[in-house]
Amino acid sequence: MYYGWLTAPRTGGPALAKLPPIGLPPPTPPPTARPTAPPSAATAPGVAVTAPATPSGHSSPASGLPAAVQPVISPALPNEGIWRPTGPDVAGGPPVLVTEFRPEASYPRMVAYVAWFDHTRTQLAYYPGRYEPPRAAVRGSAQVPVGQRGRLIATFNAGFIFTDGRNGSSDNGLTNEPLKDGLATLVGYRDGRVDIVIWHGGPDPGPQYAFTRQSLPPIVWDNQLNPALKDRGLWGATLGNAIRVWRTGAGIDRNGNLIYAAANGQTVESLARLLQQAGAIKAMQLDINPEWPSLITYRHQQGLVPDKIVPNWQQSASRYLVPDDRDFFAVYTPLITPVTVPFK
């Protein structure tokens, strides 16, 4: 669904009764199970692992886990803003948490879908699709390599196609499209860290980068909104010249963890604010419009079982397990450093 320039969605409306189910369901104990001491929140499968709420919504310094997202609509719906694990534990804890919440009181039926990736328990990789970026140095299979699927945790969409944003990218020190100074750039370092930087390194990245992917200027920097967010012409064309559409973005929290967000009915400014709500202090917009948002997590149960977190009917859960036209990110359990993007 999209809205024309003169037919933006009306504010208000009936409240949602519940949120779509995401994350692992709570475990059901067998009827004859004897009472035992509860497992710790960091290791118990299928339970909420959110740290105590903080006024800022940022990570709890004691636990490293993200704080619960503070609801902006009262009463909150069950599990709203509560982080839940999805997929396998790594090193005794959940590497990926997901949550959903209503980010704007004026639009009580619009839901944000958000994932948090623990940078100490994951490795991020960036892959070209069949056609994007246009001049990939290594095209690869345009899907998650078969040889890497045993450690696959999640996948999500990248940003605008090159012709729409002149956004550069690279893999393993090889430039796909030249990087442009001044743009927000999601980077993966060969020591395993990820970050969002404002690029000032010229058209070709150095060998210290496992990957780079640009997408327009930052929308949040040092926990402040970009003052240019109100200039709609700077942030991409929308279907039907709509005011509010599906938008996706990536952020970095205070502890260096990656956050991904997708939500319907967003302006670029409201996207920036919901990433802040989820704990991002730096953020960039990724792809927009209804066809492209994808956040998929994976369980390993007698094979790879994908779970769509973002309810996009135009994309299947098998997206990125088959060749896709556009570039994307894959999240893996860690192997070794120095980190490279594996194409086999």
pLDDT in tens, 275-317: 999 999 999 999 999 999 999 999 998 899 999 999 999 999 9
Name the DSSP class of 40: P
pLDDT band at residue 236 under the 50/70/90 scheme: confident
Q: What are phi and psi of 147, to 5 degrees?
A: -70, -10
Residues 59/257, Cβ–Cβ less than 8 Å: yes
Give the mean model confidence (pLDDT) for residues 69-78: 93
pLDDT in tens, 134-164: 999 999 999 999 999 999 999 999 999 998 8
Of 268, 259, 266, nearest to 186 by C-alpha is 259
Q: Which pLDDT value is given to residue 14? A: 64
pLDDT band at residue 91 under the 50/70/90 scheme: confident
Of 161, 170, 211, nearest to 332 by C-alpha is 211
Q: Which pLDDT value is given to residue 63? A: 59
pLDDT in tens, 2-56: 333 334 566 766 667 778 777 555 444 444 433 333 334 444 444 566 665 554 4
Residues 181/199, Cβ–Cβ less than 8 Å: yes
**pLDDT of 85 strictly over 70:** yes
241 vs 45, higher pLDDT = 241
Distance CA(323)–CA(302), nearest Å, equals: 23
Q: Which pLDDT value is given to residue 51? A: 63
Distance CA(49)–CA(45), nearest Å, equals: 9
- The long-range contacts involving 199-203, CB below 8 angstroms and separated by at least 24 positions, are 199/168, 203/168, 203/175, 203/178, 203/179
pLDDT in tens, 110-129: 999 999 999 999 999 999 99
